Amino acid sequence: MRIFLKLILSLFLIAIGSVGGFFAATKYRSQLEAVASQVVDVATSETPGRKIIYYKNPMGEPDISAAPKKDSVGMDYLPVYSDEMPPGGAVGPDGRKIVFYRNPMGEPDVSAVPKKDSMDMDYIPVYEDEIPGQPGSLLPKPEEPTKAIAAEGGKKILYYRNPMGLPDTSPVPKLDSMGMDYIAVYEDEDIGPADPSIVKISVEKVQRAGVRTEAVEMRVLSEPLRVPGTVALDERLERSITIRTEGFIEKVYAGATGQHVKAGEPLFRIYSPQIVQAAVEYRIAAAGGQKAIGAKKLHNYGAPESYIKSIPLSGEVPLSLDWPSPVDGVLMSKNIVVGARVMPGDELYRLADVSKVWVIADVPEQDVGRVAIGNPVSISVRAFPGETFAGKVAFLLPELKQETRTAQVRIELPNPKHRLLHGMYADVTIDTGSNAPVVAVPESAVIDSGNKQVAIIEVGEGRFKPQAVKLGRRGAGQVEILEGLAVGDRIVTRANFLIDAESNLQAAFTAFVASEGVAK
């Protein structure tokens, strides 16, 4: 019957061609061509009762499709109808009719009979109810591949994506080169072009993992730098007590190291023949009206002003004098005893004014750049728990201690009650922040591998994307973001390692598949 129909159709087309040639030059040419076109369309269209099983390559290559398509030169694939399949045909164990056999690795190769591939794997049977458009078929109709409805939940399927994350989609179900089914992408899951870096995690899994997100904001970073320190004397307020003449100590008033003395308070009594002789010369000069010239020698000997004023203009000159303290301070060292002979240049006492002290803080090398002169400082010592002393950074020493690789930072503190003692250990907190707000996120939001810093951005419900960031200053549990994030981005602050692991696994699979494709 089919051969007879083709013969009738051929004769009819020849007749039409003859008539068309006869009237080629007439005004009826266009009408005849339209009639011929309609006849051909009717004759070649699908007749009632004939079902299209699949579409085959027009050039005879081993390539089929479940939906209409074109080959590389623009030719339409040819439909293969159910009545064009081999008669009889095999059936499966469940009685279903086997239409053809497909390649077990998903390659575009089919067979009408059972066969094996190059790896000795059996071709997989495709049953009649697995063909698109057949009654009972579970696949979408070829003419409406993008309007498929999922069996579960009634959600609309937009397309099918590569199971390994490669940028390859299909309007109908298919297998990749490894025999894995393409994954359906539903209407509410569409994320645009395939992006292997985007990780899709179900809402239930996100909740179970305890994933937390928050928006990126502008924040003022408080950057306390906590370092150890030691209380030291203000070197500018130290004073060495020496004498410029030879003499003998007759009495010691300040006889104990650590004793506090006030300015003008006597330290010791000394007999010095040179000072006595200068005093006699001063009195003689003063009697002649040349007091200033006479006092010059006493000033050169370093005699105290109080002693010069006490020299009488008549009578005996005192043979010894009490040497007063020039400043308030504490005796840091004492090198005299009663009866000792002293020579010019000998240091008899060392005094230190402790109304101001220094705290020398040891700042690690990597944090030196955060410290600047004038930074506010808060200091606490173990001797006074719960109490803090306020000061400022006064100076940064221009060298590092080789043993500890730390820089010494000098902090000046008032010490009116002399409570801070030389040599005390101190806990130093330097405020290195500024009042300018910056883009900042919690430190927990950044995954730092040493060579690379990554934050996880939430791009949609259940969809996350790793984003490389460049970090700046840190402080109070926050870190400044110089590049990679913008205000308003939602980032993962908890359980981000889970998402990062998912992303790394997906990227590894993508790279593996790509390398396998290159090798082939």
Q: What is the pLDDT of residue 26?
A: 47
The share of the chain scoring above pLDDT 90, in percent, equals 28
In angstroms, the CA 405 to CA 444 distance is 29
Question: Tell me: the pLDDT tens digits for 1-39?
Answer: 455 555 565 566 555 555 445 444 444 445 544 444 444
Question: Tell me: the pLDDT tens digits for 360-406?
Answer: 999 999 889 889 899 999 999 999 999 999 999 999 999 999 999 99
Question: Tell me: the pLDDT tens digits for 61-92?
Answer: 766 665 677 777 778 888 877 666 655 567 66
Give the pLDDT band (50/70/90) at residue 57: confident
In angstroms, the CA 175 to CA 68 distance is 18
User: Is residue 482 within 8 Å of 471, Cβ to Cβ?
Assistant: yes
pLDDT at 338 over 90: yes
Q: What is the pLDDT of residue 168?
A: 76
Q: What is the pLDDT of residue 138?
A: 39
Q: Is 476 helix (H, G, I), strand (E, B) or coil?
A: coil
Q: Which residues of 279-305 are buried (b: 16+ CB within 10 A; e: fewer)?
A: bebbbebbeeeeeeebbebbeebebbe
pTM given for the model: 0.48
Question: Tell me: the pLDDT tens digits for 220-258?
Answer: 877 788 999 999 999 899 999 999 999 999 999 998 988
Closest-CA residue to 508 (of 206, 209, 197, 201): 197
Average pLDDT of the chain to the nearest whole number = 78
Q: Is 288 helix (H, G, I), strand (E, B) or coil?
A: coil
Lowest-confidence pick of 49-58, 192-201, 291-300, 397-406: 192-201
Question: Tell me: the pLDDT tens digits for 456-490?
Answer: 888 877 788 888 899 887 777 888 899 999 999 99
